[in-house]
Amino acid sequence: MNSKVLIIGACGQIGSELTQRLRQLYGADAVIASDIRQCNDELMDSGVFEILDATDFQGIKSCVEKYNVKTVYLMAALLSATGEKFPEKAWDLNMNSLFHVLNLAKDGIIDKVFWPSSIAVFGPTTPQTYTPQHTTMEPTTVYGITKQVGERWCEYYHNKYGVDVRSIRYPGIISWKTMPGGGTTDYAVEIYHKAIKNGRYECFLSKDTELPMMFMEDAIDATVNIMQAESKNIKIRSSYNLAAISFTPSQIAKSITFHIPDFKMSYTPDFRQAIADSWPKSIDASKAREDWGWNHRYNLETMTDEMIRQLKMKYQENI
Ligand code: AKB
């Protein structure tokens, strides 16, 4: 049986689009999608799907053996805002799922692992602009702590056991197919939906809160590129800084008014403001560029054009 790819957390914002891209690249039969719940019809109908709990080692191992899986993308995680509400659950899910997958690689059952880290590994003592790859990291969220610790474990498993694990520090990801869930950067997706449906949006961050962001197409390209790169080119085995664009809520609102002139934005910061304030405003991704040729394609304007175009069609279809 040919070797296969397994995506754990395939119903999430990134997992769902990654699954479809990998199915296009490697063939529908070669990519096993899994999640703790059923996904949308498009994903469920496009290839094999398994219900899988990312904290269940035996469940993951059985699925890997059943399909002769050699590469695992571990996309299941509790994000920053939800993690603050359920700290123990965030620790349990984010850490144990990683150990399970790293241990399968250590035991030679799988060959390759992708694990997403995040800009949440940084904290208030980190330089906020053009944040370097190697710098002070004192995360203040449970999610950030799990990602920081996870990075150390990835590097440890690579150095000690030769595990081929690859990772990138995703910024906020903006997409139109699947909603994000439980993150601090989610406002930058919600805003487009509300702009089209209601013509207004109440933002939970203040107007000048600048954060690193990226359009989904670029995030998927980065994920595929780092996984396809030759192993010798992956010189960082904790996680790579990744960057595309940075903007504030008022700047994204302005880009929307170009398409929807009457769009109105108001600001009512909540607990997520403190999380956003602890994160960088922009990121230095030069190591990813040097080592595996990272480059982004979308800026704020081209991303807004695409979001508005796609969401208008999507809402039109549902009328
Ligand atoms: C979040 O806001 O928690 C995530 C992230 C930046 O990792 N989108």
Determine which residue's CA is closest to atom 1 belonging to ligand 1: 183
Is there a catalytic annotation at residue 143?
yes
What CATH class does 173-213+244-317 carry? alpha beta
Summarised one tens digit per residue, pLDDT across range 96-153 is 999 999 999 999 999 999 999 999 999 999 999 999 999 999 999 999 999 999 999 9
Residues 28-40, mean pLDDT to the nearest whole number: 95
What is the Cα gyration radius of the chain?
19
Dist CA 302 CA 115 (whole Å) = 28
Q: Is any ligand 1 atom within 6 A of the Cβ of residue 94?
A: no
Summarised one tens digit per residue, pLDDT across range 185-204 is 999 999 999 999 999 999 99
Q: Among the atoms of ligand 1, which is closest to the Cα of residue 171?
A: 6
- 173 Cβ partners below 8 Å, 6+ apart? 13, 14, 180, 185, 213, 214, 215, 216, 219
Residues 245-261, mean pLDDT to the nearest whole number: 98
**Residue ranges per domain, the chain?**
4-122+135-168, 173-213+244-317
Determine which residue's CA is closest to atom 7 belonging to ligand 1: 118
Residue 1 above 80 pLDDT? Answer: no
- What percent of the chain has a predicted confidence (pLDDT) above 70? 99
Q: Is any ligand 1 atom within 6 A of the Cβ of residue 219?
A: no
Determine which residue's CA is closest to atom 4 belonging to ligand 1: 183
Task: Please tell me the distance between residue 100's alpha carbon and the centre of ligand 1 in angstroms.
Answer: 23
Q: Is any ligand 1 atom within 6 A of the Cβ of residue 118?
A: yes
CATH topology match: 4-122+135-168 vs 173-213+244-317: yes
Summarised one tens digit per residue, pLDDT across range 86-107 is 999 999 999 999 999 999 999 9
13-26 and 216-228 helices, crossing angle to 10°? 50
Q: Is any ligand 1 atom within 6 A of the Cβ of residue 249?
A: no
CATH superfamily of this structure's domain 4-122+135-168: NAD(P)-binding Rossmann-like Domain (3.40.50.720)
Catalytic residue among 26, 67, 73, 143: 143
Residue 171 above 70 pLDDT? Answer: yes
218-227 burial string, b = 16+ CB within 10 Å, else e?
Answer: bbbbbbeebb
Task: Please tell me the distance between residue 120's alpha carbon and the centre of ligand 1 in angstroms.
Answer: 7
Residue 2 above 70 pLDDT? Answer: yes
